[in-house]
Amino acid sequence: MPSAPTSNPNSPERWFPSRKALPDPRLRLFCLPFAGGSASIYSAWQGGLPPGVELCAVQLPGRERRLMEKPFDSLPTLMDALLPVLAPLLDKPFAFFGYSMGSRISLELTRRLQARNGPLPRGLVLAASGAPRESDRKPIHHLPQEQFINELRRYDGTPEEILQHRELLELLVPTLRADFALAWWENGPVPVKLDVPISVMGGTEDKHVSLARLETWREETRNPDFRIRHFEGGHFFLRKQQEAILAALREDLTRWMTTPA
């Protein structure tokens, strides 16, 4: 069982509670969750990754053992906190996997690293999300409580028994609101395109991210290595397509590890 997080807010144990460090990893895979999600959604992935890949599932404040910590609702503030924690682990090749909200965070991390001439990921895997340059979705984090809960129900990501449990909702709603604020953070000026490969995954029945919107990620990179894969299911196809996702991820990571940086 992973040890309890320390009192140091920047400790690796707090941000990567399930990480099992490899002696000499070929690549580190940082996994970012969907809104309301936690590091535990990736806990079973290590065995499905290529040999030498070290799984680093990111635990954001406001969930699981960090439940009582204030969640981030500002993407720049999250970057300022997360990048210093990542920095010591970027001494090896690395990649980002982001699911829904996690795609937005992965993109922003890469933009920051490129702007600083820092080490860049070998690739980005972005799932259940369209690029933030173009979005037809409306922000929901400012809605009154009942409307916000109804929107959560539409996403089909929060179990109905939790939505019906008022006391539990009181604990979870602040984190969910903050996460949706992160997911819809305004871009500002159109940023420079990235220099890294991008692999995109989407659900064939996703009512929130159409298959056509997956193409918008192509505008985020100058790298010719751009792929789109479709998986059966809705917005949370992750839950039923884990083996297929891992197979695609193995293919991408193996390719990126064998391509010169």
**Residue whose token pair is 């053992």:** 65
What are phi and psi for residue 54, nearest 5 degrees?
A: -100, 120
Q: Tell me the residue type at 241.
A: Q
Catalytic-role residue among 18, 100, 129, 199: 100
Tokens at 22, concatenated: 């490899």
Residue 11 annotated among the catalytic residues of the structure: no
Q: Which of 88, 102, 81 is nearest to 8 (CA)?
A: 81
Strand partners, 32: 98
Interatomic CA distance for residues 130 and 224, integer angstroms: 19
Three-state secondary structure call for residue 144: coil
Tokens at 6, concatenated: 């320390």
Interatomic CA distance for residues 30 and 3, integer angstroms: 19
Q: Is 216 within 8 Å of 260 (Cβ atoms)? A: no
The count of residues in the chain is 261
- Sign (positive/negative) of CA torsion 19, 62, 177, 83? negative
Neighbours of 79 (CB within 10 A): 17
CA 190 from chain center: how many Å? Answer: 21
Which active-site residues does the annotation give? 100
